[in-house]
Structure 1
Amino acid sequence: MKAKLKELKKSNIPLMIISTLLFLFYIFPFFLVLINSFKAKMEILSNPIALPKSINFDNFINAFNTMGYPSAITNSFIITTASLFLIIVFSSMLAYFLVRWDWKINKIIFMILVASMIIPFQALMIPFVNIYGSFNMLNSRLLLAVYYLGFGVSLATFMYHGFIKNIPLELEEAAKIDGATKLQVFWKIIFPILKPVTATIAILDVLWIWNDFLLPSLVLISKSMRTIPLSTFYFFGQYTSNYGQAMAALILAIIPVIIFYISMQDKIISGVIEGAGK
């Protein structure tokens, strides 16, 4: 038995080495951002890889004030929360409709949704601004959340669709016999079962929406409505860049996402495992 355990440990050594190297490879950029956030500009330019000579929080204080951090994080929170709510509600209901109502047009709709995922946003960017700008439908946090719904509904519906197909119909039939309406069946029976895939969609969309720069830069014109990614752009000018404060701003920007991810990581792992099982 001990010999077998030793063999298993030896066989896992290459995998552990590869995993460690990959971890170091992925963590290195974050490490550079972290150590340079404590440096002055000349110290960064002279040696960006070296550790800071002293721990100085001036970059964080200046970045906090320059980017208007309270306003920016509030805007990002409102937009991300509203967008996530719309995507989860509409995508889950649409997926349920496409699965449970066996109409021919539903298959066409689902195929169109899946096909739309391959279209890059950059291909739609110019007509998007021209059309919605002509109707004065820019510079609004609520409308931005609706736009995120449009761009995020296809992937979320695709994920919900595959999960709902494996839910037995007997659960819904039993609820209908007890007098539940179709909406009650969905919200009280089906939607709670979708918790794992909902957590996965929530994490993916939070990371996407919170860190998105391009779409908010086209929609949010007013300075008071700028999100965290837009606010970090203050530190990069045409002729000069304040790298130290920019690195500090990036650290301030990713802290909420890291906290959210850590709090949800057990749910996304369980969601992946259950999804693979189904």
Structure 2
Amino acid sequence: MQKLRLRKILLELVMILFTVIYMFPVMNLVFSSLKSTGDLMRNPVGLPSVLEFGNYVVAWTKMDYPRAFFNTVVICGGSILFIVIIGSMAAYPIARYRTHFNQAMYLFFLATIMIPGQAIMIPLVRLFYKTGLVNTHISLIVYYTAAAVPFAVFLFTGFIKTIPAELEEAAAIDGSGAFRTFWKVIFPLMKSSVTTVIILNIMWIWNDFMMPMVLLQSEKMRTLTPSIFNFFEEFVTQWNYAFAASVLVMVPGILAFLLLQKHFIEGMVAGGVKS
């Protein structure tokens, strides 16, 4: 009994240690965002001597936060909407109808997960330039949707296989077609897996820097993360304002995760069922 209790205490201490290690960079970011330039240079790691909340005002103004926030919400929301709709509708026939074509499509989706985004970046950017989609929300919505749908299909397929087929048989007896059965019966039961897909893609799309920087050349179209680059000039880097801007970018994503987290683990476990 004593050994078991000692193991639990040691495990808790180890977990506390890992929590401190993982939280230290975040806390240092918050503390650094509240320092003056001189204080940051003198004491880059410790607590701020004076709380400079004005850093957030400067960061909010210089990065034009409301505009950048609106662009990010439009791109993130539009992408997630298409990812959920296309991914769930593609996963349903793959999970329910075991044809050779559906199995081949499932393998195709799994294969595309393994392709790194950097491998297709150059032809993708050229395609967007030729189609005139650069500096538009549509370009990033198309990119994020195409990149995220394969994993969404994988997750949704595993989850749909756990849903009893008798529910669909009952709906068919009532005269419901496949399309109506999916949206009225199956999709409402996919809440946890849909939430998992939403959380994973919010974290990725909200924090993505590379693709918005490449495809959105206009300042008016910039999303939140590339807007932090406004504080990095040729000869001067305003680190305290950049840290404040980073906190402003980080907060909405954390809030979204906290609101949706209760369904996250459930959806990941259910979506990982073997085919």
Match status 1:185 vs 2:181: yes
| Aligned ranges 1:162-177 → 2 under 5 Å | 162-177=158-173
Q: Read off the aligned partner of 1:50 and give its amino acid letter.
A: G
Match status 1:130 vs 2:138: no
Could you say if the C-alpha distance between residues 221 and 41 of structure 1 is closer, same or farther in structure 2, counting changes exceeding 3 Å? same
Q: Read off the aligned partner of 1:19 and give its amino acid letter.
A: M
| Aligned ranges 1:1-278 → 2 under 5 Å | 4=1, 7-272=3-268, 274-275=270-271
> What is the number of residues matched between the two proteins?
274
Q: Read off the aligned partner of 2:217 and give its amino acid letter.
A: I
When the two chains are superposed, the root-mean-square deviation of aligned CA atoms in Å is 1.6
Q: Deviations over 1:42-77 (max 9, x none)?
A: 221222111101111121110000000000111111
SS in 2 for 1:233: helix
CA distance in 1, matches of 2:139, 2:271: 32
Could you say if the C-alpha distance between residues 117 and 208 of structure 1 is closer, same or farther in structure 2, counting changes exceeding 3 Å? same
Shift of 1:272: 3.8
CA distance in 2, matches of 1:189, 1:135: 39
The normalised TM-score by structure 2 is 0.95
Could you say if the C-alpha distance between residues 114 and 121 of structure 1 is closer, same or farther in structure 2, counting changes exceeding 3 Å? same
Contact 2:94 2:106 in 1 (8 A): yes
Shift of 1:274: 4.6
Q: Deviations over 1:113-140 (max 9, x none)?
A: 1111111111111111112212212211
Could you say if the C-alpha distance between residues 275 and 86 of structure 1 is closer, same or farther in structure 2, counting changes exceeding 3 Å? closer
SS in 2 for 1:237: coil
Q: Read off the aligned partner of 1:100 and give its amino acid letter.
A: R
Unaligned runs of 5+ in 1: none
The normalised TM-score by structure 1 is 0.94
Q: Decide which moves more: 256-265 or 96-105.
A: 96-105
Unaligned runs of 5+ in 2: none
Shift of 1:269: 3.1
Contact 2:87 2:156 in 1 (8 A): yes
SS in 1 for 2:134: coil
SS in 1 for 2:102: helix
Q: Kindly, what percent of the aligned residue pairs are identical?
A: 36
Q: Read off the aligned partner of 2:237 and give its amino acid letter.
A: S
Could you say if the C-alpha distance between residues 234 and 146 of structure 1 is closer, same or farther in structure 2, counting changes exceeding 3 Å? same
SS in 1 for 2:236: coil
CA distance in 1, matches of 2:272, 2:121: 35
CA distance in 1, matches of 2:101, 2:253: 39
Could you say if the C-alpha distance between residues 141 and 277 of structure 1 is closer, same or farther in structure 2, counting changes exceeding 3 Å? closer
CA distance in 2, matches of 1:245, 1:11: 45
Could you say if the C-alpha distance between residues 15 and 276 of structure 1 is closer, same or farther in structure 2, counting changes exceeding 3 Å? farther
CA distance in 2, matches of 1:269, 1:166: 16
Shift of 1:226: 0.6
Shift of 1:273: 5.0
Contact 2:158 2:272 in 1 (8 A): no
Could you say if the C-alpha distance between residues 146 and 200 of structure 1 is closer, same or farther in structure 2, counting changes exceeding 3 Å? same
Shift of 1:166: 2.0
CA distance in 2, matches of 1:144, 1:277: 31
